[in-house]
Structures are given as structure tokens and as C-alpha cells.
Amino acid sequence: MGSLHDRLLVIDGLIFHSDGDPRWLREGNVSAVNLTLRSPIDDFEQTFDAFAAWRRRCADPASGWHLVLKASDIDAARAAGKVGLIMGWQDTKMLGDRAERLECFHALGLRIVQLTYNEACAVGDGCLERRNAGLSDFGHEVVAELNRLGIAIDLSHCGEQVCLDAARLSTAPVLLTHANARAVTDRVRNKSDEVIRAVAATGGLVGASIHGFMNWDGDPAHPPTLALFLRHLRHIVNLVGIDHVCFGTDMAALSSETAADRILEMSFTRYGGATADYVRAFGNTLAKRYPDELNNPRLMHRKTDALLADGYSEREVEKIMGLNLRRVLGEIWGG
């Protein structure tokens, strides 16, 4: 029969970068990922080129990737032993002030969109903006268009009021693909209990993350651990229930760790308000952004083992590791 992990449908709510090598994901039995196709600071041409490159890659039977356009494509990827590619953005800068562009990107395969990154954009404020303004008028338009097209709305990096506004306005479930609980660890990227409840009230999901930026307690003597991740997850489950949780590692899927160096440096120099103290404590390498027990997707079975050891039933583990996200994405996308 194999281990429970080997039998699971595993969907990672956020992989922040990949150079096209799915090997680490397949070794970790990951069947689908919400992959950030492009850096949040890339321009329009770079964004378009990313879609073209990934569509060509998925069309190659030998690539190990399967393009996900509807929920059943996740099942098809798993059956084929491939990794399902869910095309995602972590910001909306590429729209400029034209929501109609979303329909074009949807036709190319875009399926999950985070409304803002850390800073403000035309849609609203990110989590590093001190003013905490909510959705702009344009943001209201974007939410409505995402709902119309069936593109999932992600609020992970959004400011508090943007999260609350989007949850109130959306006619479809909304997601926090990779964010933890501020009540457990008061980090800028974590979410208040009010936001977590608001997301769950839409029928949406909170993707607890192992990323050190969201788990660290601020003490350089305490690096991130799976135990800290489990504290966040337990708080979220107690708050909104097992049917409203998933996970997003915020890891990379690469042929080598150095393939993410440019993005690591960008996150440190451009967004120091969220990263600088952590980088000073533990360095700016890919592996050290995560618990030593689980610093690579190929070690994903250790998360399954940790969930079981923390008292979750096998059925609850199945929901956390993929079934909940498969269900909700099916509600948003159809198929």
C-alpha cells in the first residue's frame, strides 16, 4: 500500500519560482502547484514571455508538466505522474488600469491572481503599506472581473483592509494561499483572525506556510521549525475548521538552489520591511528560508508525518494536503 503520503493528492498553494525542472516536486509526490510565473517586478513583455515559455514546456510530453486549466486537469496530472501547472501571479501590476486584460491572460492559462504584492498598486494596498487603504474603485472592478472569468483571488500579501474588502465583495471563494496567523506570530505577512474568518466565510481556504518569514518568533536563536508551522495550522483549524485550510510552502522548484538567487536578492533589497531582520539572522540562502526538516519540496513527506504526529486523522491530512484545495478550485473554475 505504501505510506499515507505516497497515496495523497498533494497540491502546493504557492511555489514562488521554478526554472522548469519538476524533479524536486515529483520526488515529494506533489501533483499540482500554484506557480508564480514571473517576478512581481517583471514588465509586460517578460510576463507575456513567461506564459509562452510555460505553455510550450507543458506541450512537451517529456517535460514532466501538465497545464491546469480546470480542476479535472489536476487529476489528470496526477494520473500521468506529472506536476500540474496552475499559472499564477502574485500581483496585478501587469493590468495597468485595464481590467479587460484579465480575459486575455485567462485565455493564456492564468488561474490564480493575488490582488497586490507587498506595496500598493492600482488595485489597493499591500501588507507593507502603512496607510492600510482598502480596495480602490479599480480594485472593485478587478474583483468583479476575476469572479466573472473564474480566476481564483489570492489575498496572501494584501493589506488588512484589502483582504476584508475583497472577501466581502467576491461572489466566489477567496484564498490565502500562503499566509499564517498573526495571533500566533506577529509578522507583517501574517493575517488577523478577522481576515482568516472573512476568507473562510466566503467558502475559501487559508494556506498555512512553512516559510520562515511567517513562522519566526524574532529571536535569532530560534530558527523556523515544523513545530512552529503546526502551531499556526492548529490555530487556523481551531478558528475556522478543517475544511477551510490548505497549505502553501512558498518554496521554489528548481534544478539547483542557486537558480533562485536573483529573486532572493530582490526580496531582501526591495522588501526589507518584511525580510531584513530574518536575513540578518539566518542568511539569504534558499534552504535557510525554511525549517531544516523541510527545506526542499522533495522532503514533503515529512510534513505529512508531522501532521499525523500532531494528532490529525488520515482524512484530515488528506484535506490539508490537497483535497480541500482541489474542491475549492473546482468551485471557482468549474470542471
The string of pLDDT tens digits covering residues 42-76 is 888 999 999 999 999 999 999 999 999 999 999 99
With a cut of 70, say whether residue 300 has pLDDT above it: yes
How high is the pLDDT of residue 169? 98
Stretch 299-326: mean pLDDT, rounded? 98
Ordered DSSP codes for 145-192: HHHHHTPEEE-TTB-HHHHHHHHHH-SS-EEESS--BTTTS--TTSB-
How do 11-18 and 32-36 pair as beta strands? Answer: parallel
pTM of the model: 0.97
Stretch 301-328: mean pLDDT, rounded? 98
Residue entry with cell 507543458: 58
Ordered DSSP codes for 27-93: HTT--EEEEE-S-TT--HHHHHHHHHHHHHHHHSTTSSEEE-SSTHHHHHHHHHT-EEEEEEES--G
Ordered DSSP codes for 278-291: HHHHH-S-SGGGS-
HSE-CB for 310 with a 13 A CA cutoff: 20
Domain that holds residue 190: 4-333
Stretch 202-226: mean pLDDT, rounded? 95
Task: Tell me the CATH number at 132.
Answer: 3.20.20.140
The CA distance from 318 to 244, in Å, is 13
Stretch 78-88: mean pLDDT, rounded? 98
- Nearest-5° Cα angle at 296, 291 to 298: 130
Confidence band for 77, pLDDT divided at 50, 70 and 90? very high
With a cut of 70, say whether residue 91 has pLDDT above it: yes
With a cut of 70, say whether residue 124 has pLDDT above it: yes
The string of pLDDT tens digits covering residues 92-114 is 999 999 999 999 999 999 999 99
Confidence band for 245, pLDDT divided at 50, 70 and 90? very high
Residue 212: which of 251, 170, 241, 243 has the closest Cα? Answer: 251
Residue 109: which of 144, 141, 73 has the closest Cα? Answer: 73
How high is the pLDDT of residue 52? 97
Residue 246: which of 174, 301, 325 has the closest Cα? Answer: 325
The CA distance from 131 to 207, in Å, is 26
How high is the pLDDT of residue 27? 97
C-alpha cell at 245: 485550510
Residue entry with cell 494584501: 158
Burial of 2 (0-12, 13-18, 19+ CB in 10 A): exposed
With a cut of 80, say whether residue 202 has pLDDT above it: yes
- Nearest-5° Cα angle at 37, 156 to 75: 85
Give how far Cα 138 sits from Cα of 113, 144, 203, Å: 15, 10, 24
DSSP 126: B
Domain count, the chain: 1
Mean pLDDT of the chain: 95
* Percentage with pLDDT > 70 across the chain: 100
How high is the pLDDT of residue 1? 54
Residue 197: enclosing H or E segment and its boundaries? helix 193-201
The CA distance from 161 to 186, in Å, is 17
N-to-C CA span, the chain = 29
SS3 301: helix
The string of pLDDT tens digits covering residues 247-265 is 999 999 998 877 788 888 8
The string of pLDDT tens digits covering residues 3-37 is 999 999 999 999 999 999 999 999 999 999 999 99
With a cut of 90, say whether residue 163 has pLDDT above it: yes
